[in-house]
Amino acid sequence: MAIHTPPAAAACGLSGQGHPLATHCTDLREPASIAPRPYLHPLRSLAGAAVTEAGPDDHPHHLGLSVAFSDVNGTNFWGGSTFTAASGPRLLANHGTQLPQGWHSSAGADTAGESGSVSWRSAAGDELAVEQRRIQYFAHPEPGSWSLSLSSVIRPAADVQRLAVSSSAVKGRAGAGYGGIFWRFPCGSGDPVVLSGTGSGAAAAHGSLSPWLSVTMRVDGRPVSVLLSQDAGRLLPWFVRADGYLGAGPAVAWSEPAYVYPHAPLSLGLHAVIHDGVVKTPARALELLHQHPRLTPGSTDRTV
């Protein structure tokens, strides 16, 4: 059924053992300093384990699975402090808002989806960027598993000639190139097992161009894994952190700004498999990812 804007907490059409697998939060109730935006939380495994975190004490501006940048034309769409070359991180009145508009949803027996536009607005309310976003949820043939995909195309708003996407790393904070599609994993996840095409551990994955990433953690005493894959057309360095909190995502402005023009939009894509169980080897991670409907052999969306 078509809807103008999604409900404040719209659940996807797929469900696990009596619970929705994904909830799309769009009410934008967060304070300005959080950079209000639509986000997915909680995302759950089929067995019910939450694999996202929103508003944790350590970083209240981390909101589940969302699209966020610390600096777009001087506006902070990440939330929290803004890193400045002169004085380090400072809390500034420069936070933007992402306003979802014209969203539609659909659901079937083995798949569901949502799509619509997002208006990126500065603290003053000026529209800086317009985005087309699509979220897809899929059944997965592997027992205890399901899949999702998030795709995004961002362009400058009608009166904006260029978007300059920056990061704390670009401004001088080494390793802090975060910004893009970002997945905040739950607190208390234990010692995660992180695998990638460049080796074992978060340090091996951080900054790498591996097409995929695997994170196994324990949630409420049970093992659960999240396998992530990028789009094949443009691999971005992974921002991966497991010290202090657990979070990951492809970084758009890892070491230099990314410039976005009307004729050259910013296209992002992230595909995930949520699996109840441990993933111990790259071969097992790739086996699960290859069964993702958007990543099956021969698919134009294949990334692994």
**Predicted local distance difference test score (pLDDT) of residue 156:** 98
Per-residue confidence band for 10, with pLDDT thresholds at 50, 70 and 90: low
**Predicted local distance difference test score (pLDDT) of residue 14:** 73
- In angstroms, the CA 248 to CA 195 distance is 12
For the chain, give the number of residues: 304
Residue ranges covered by each domain of the chain: 9-290
Helix boundaries (H) for 133-233: 202-205
**Predicted local distance difference test score (pLDDT) of residue 234:** 84
DSSP letter for 203, please: H
Strand order of the β-sheet with 212-219 is: 97-107, 111-121, 127-139, 145-156, 266-275, 222-230, 212-219, 193-196, 199-200
N-to-C CA span, the chain: 34
- In angstroms, the CA 67 to CA 231 distance is 15
Using alpha carbons, select from 122, 177, 151, 154 the residue that is nearest to residue 229.
151
Cα separations in angstroms, 42 against 89, 213, 269: 29, 20, 20
pLDDT exceeds 50 at position 237: yes
Q: Which whole number is the average pLDDT over 149-159?
A: 98
Q: Which whole number is the average pLDDT over 123-132?
A: 98
Q: What is the pTM of this model?
A: 0.94
Q: Which whole number is the average pLDDT over 9-25?
A: 82
**Predicted local distance difference test score (pLDDT) of residue 300:** 35
Q: Are 130 and 155 a contacting pair, CB within 8 Å? A: yes
pLDDT exceeds 80 at position 199: yes
Please report where in the chains the tokens 């929705």 appear, as a residue: 20
**Predicted local distance difference test score (pLDDT) of residue 301:** 39
Strand order of the β-sheet with 71-72 is: 71-72, 163-166, 258-260
Q: Which whole number is the average pLDDT over 170-182?
A: 96
What's the mean pLDDT when you consider all of the chain?
A: 92
Share of the chain above pLDDT 70, in %: 93
SS3 90: strand
Please report where in the chains the tokens 């958007």 appear, as a residue: 294
**Predicted local distance difference test score (pLDDT) of residue 16:** 80
**Predicted local distance difference test score (pLDDT) of residue 5:** 34
**Predicted local distance difference test score (pLDDT) of residue 4:** 29
**Predicted local distance difference test score (pLDDT) of residue 124:** 97
Amino acid identity for residue 21 in this structure: L
Using alpha carbons, select from 241, 239, 259 the residue that is nearest to residue 251.
239
**Predicted local distance difference test score (pLDDT) of residue 12:** 76
Q: Which residue has the higher pLDDT, 191 or 276?
A: 276
SS3 228: strand
Per-residue confidence band for 303, with pLDDT thresholds at 50, 70 and 90: very low
**Predicted local distance difference test score (pLDDT) of residue 2:** 23
Per-residue confidence band for 9, with pLDDT thresholds at 50, 70 and 90: low
Q: Which whole number is the average pLDDT over 74-87?
A: 94
**Predicted local distance difference test score (pLDDT) of residue 106:** 87
pLDDT exceeds 80 at position 130: yes
DSSP letter for 245, please: S
